Amino acid sequence: MLSTNIWLVVTIRALRTRARILDAALDLFERQGYDATTVNEIAEAAGITPMTFFRHFPTKDAVLVTDPYDPLIAEAIGTQPVDLAPLERTRRGLLAALGDISALEDATAKRRVALVAESPALRAAAAVGTEATQQAIVERLVSDGAERLDATVAAAVCLAAATAALLAWGTAPDDTTLAGLVRHALTQLAPDPS
């Protein structure tokens, strides 16, 4: 009760600092580019020390690239019929989990994606971020009897399609929905492209 209150209050202060960092970084990145913006600038704009920046974000790119490994994805894939080929199972699983994607779309999501789409360094960081999800999918498929290489290819391929759609969404017109683009991308992987 007591320590719980402390924890809450302290967390509020930390959250505010984190939000200030995020605002300052997003603003600077959009005005002068990701690479041209230094952590020192971000810290100064946020009214903190560079050291404090790294206390809230492990790396500079972590401000834009978060790795929300979603257990729901692996779960949705496991729900698909086991007799399907790994690729098709993964594809249908991703489509099934697509409904939850809109939950990720906060107000700054599209701005962040647009920045990632423009910077090779950020795209690389994003690719590393999806590896956890890929690994989870692979383990799920393998545990259901798939060959490891087949499972790896299935996961890598489906996530590549989804990532391509995500990056395209970053610079797409405002009325374009992310779910629509992902669905369109995954449709190309369908065995019967009707």
Q: What is the number of residues in the chain?
A: 194
Contact assessment for residue 8 and residue 50, using Cβ atoms and an 8 Å cutoff:
no
Which of DNA, its own copies, none lies near 137, with the C-beta cut-off 5 to 8 A by kind? none
Residues contacting DNA: total by CB under 7 A: 28
Question: Which of residues 87, 95, 98, 116 is near its own copies by CB under 8 A?
Answer: 87
Residue 54, token pair as written in the block: 């790294």
The pair of three-digit structure tokens given for residue 16, joined into one six-digit string: 């505010």
Please identify, among the stretches 32-40, 77-85, 87-95, 173-181, the one whose residues bind DNA according to the rule CB under 7 A.
32-40
Site string for its own copies, 17-56 (x = CB under 8 A): ----------------------------------------
Per-residue CA distances from 144 to 20, 84, 85 (Å) = 45, 11, 11
CB atoms closer than 10 angstroms to residue 154: 26
Instruction: Answer with the entry of DNA, its own copies, none that 160 interacts with (C-beta below 5 to 8 A by kind).
Output: its own copies
Rounded Cα–Cα distance for residues 58 and 116 (Å): 17
**Sign of the C-alpha dihedral, residues 30, 34, 37, 39?**
positive
Site string for DNA, 58-97 (x = CB under 7 A): xxxx------------------------------------
By beta-carbon proximity to its own copies, the closer residue of 21 and 159 is 159
149 binds, among its own copies, DNA, none (CB under 5 to 8 A by kind): its own copies
